[in-house]
Amino acid sequence: METKTLDAGAIRTSKDAAPTTGGVSKQKARMSRLMVSPSVLLLLLWMVVPLSMTIYFSLIRYNLLYPGENEFVGLENFHFFVTDLGFMAGMTNTLLLVGSVLLITVVFGVLISLLVNLAFWGQGIVRVLLISPFFIMPTVNALVWKNLLLHPVSGVFAAIWQFFGAQPIDWFSEFPLFSIIMIVSWQWLPFAILLLMTALQSLDQEQQEAARLDGAGPWALFWHLTLPHLARPIAVVVMIETIFLLSLFAEIFTTTGGGPGYETTNLAYLIYSQALLQFDVGLASAGGLIAVILANIAAFFLVRVVGKSLTEKQ
């Protein structure tokens, strides 16, 4: 309604005196700024309040076990967090986890979506089955793997090992990080498949035919046409998965609890254990801020490397 009246006004003024149109469009811009301001303000509050509180907490002593002793301690919390034994482990594990899951989901995602893209009987059902793990809640997923698949006594894997006469493996104590990577990859592979499969369907058929006439075999077709075509969806997969995997928590919490030792503790889990297991809110806030900074560094590089291929026109 508002804009309509303004439009009518614009027409009238431009008829009377042409130069005033600039003023009208400025007025319009002010109007639209006014209209979006509530949501911008809300978003700002949403972000600024928790952030400033976290910064404040990170600079004071704030342990729930010792109430009342909230004096300013400067960067001591940061110092503690960074020099904590768990910090290096948490960093390495975070990177290992994110890196391996990305690698597994992208490589297998490409291979599986190529396979599923071939025409075969029952294609629809297979596709749905492939996508379905994505709809399972992370906690449920972790519990299923922990109790039904990887359990050293009653798990499916143990049964298979026993069938071949081998000693069943206690996955979470012998290969804890690998087990987590396996679980998380299983959870995220469908996401990669979904995106890549959709992208494959838009692969131009005539380009493939032209390449076949040019003498390209299956490998050359994949390397020169399919893979470049998938660059963009792969970038999306990497970007989104990185964002979610950096803060991976539920799967670790449900299965290993960060152990044994610090072997499966990532940054998110470290912050949790500082805050709620040791009741040190100040330390946890400092950790949280460090995590935010690290995530921003990661995001910066992602946007530089990955985002470039996204914004490029195709």
Partner 1 sequence: MADLTIKNLKKSFGDLEILKGINLNIKDHEFVVFVGPSGCGKSTLLRSIAGLEEVTSGHIYLDDREITELAPAKRDLAMVFQSYALYPHMSVRKNMSFALELAKESKETINSKVAEAARILELEPLLDRKPKELSGGQRQRVAIGRSIVRQPKVFLFDEPLSNLDAALRVQMRLELARLHHDLKATMIYVTHDQVEAMTLANKVVVLNQGQIEQVGSPMELYHSPANRFVAGFLGMPKMSFLPATVVSSDHQGTRIQLADGATLALPVNGATLHKNSQVTLGVRPENIHVSDPSESDFTGRLDIAENLGSDTYCYVKTSSNETLTVRTPGNFTCNFGQQIGLSLELDQCHLFDDQDQALPRLERIAA
Contact set with partner 1 (CB under 8 A): 204, 206-207, 209-216, 220, 224-225, 228-229, 231, 313-314
Q: Tell me whether residue 222 or residue 249 sits nearer to partner 1 (CB atom).
A: 222
Q: Tell me whether residue 124 or residue 215 sits nearer to partner 1 (CB atom).
A: 215
The rounded distance, in Å, linking the Cα atoms of 191 and 245 is: 13
End-to-end CA gap in the chain? 38
- Shortest CB 221 distance to partner 1, Å: 10
Q: Tell me whether residue 16 or residue 206 sits nearer to partner 1 (CB atom).
A: 206
- Shortest CB 226 distance to partner 1, Å: 11
Both tokens assigned to 219: 């490998």
* Coil/strand/helix, residue 99: helix
Residue labelled with tokens 């379905």: 132
The rounded distance, in Å, linking the Cα atoms of 203 and 209 is: 11
Q: Tell me whether residue 24 or residue 211 sits nearer to partner 1 (CB atom).
A: 211
Bridge-partner residues for 60, per DSSP? 72
- Shortest CB 199 distance to partner 1, Å: 13
- Shortest CB 220 distance to partner 1, Å: 6
* Coil/strand/helix, residue 280: strand
Q: Tell me whether residue 223 or residue 300 sits nearer to partner 1 (CB atom).
A: 223
Query: How far is residue 117 from each of residues 123, 203, 211, measured CA to CA in Å?
Result: 8, 11, 19
- Shortest CB 205 distance to partner 1, Å: 9
- Shortest CB 231 distance to partner 1, Å: 8
The rounded distance, in Å, linking the Cα atoms of 192 and 134 is: 10
Q: Tell me whether residue 30 or residue 212 sits nearer to partner 1 (CB atom).
A: 212
Query: How far is residue 45 from each of residues 119, 198, 282, 289, measured CA to CA in Å?
Result: 52, 38, 22, 18
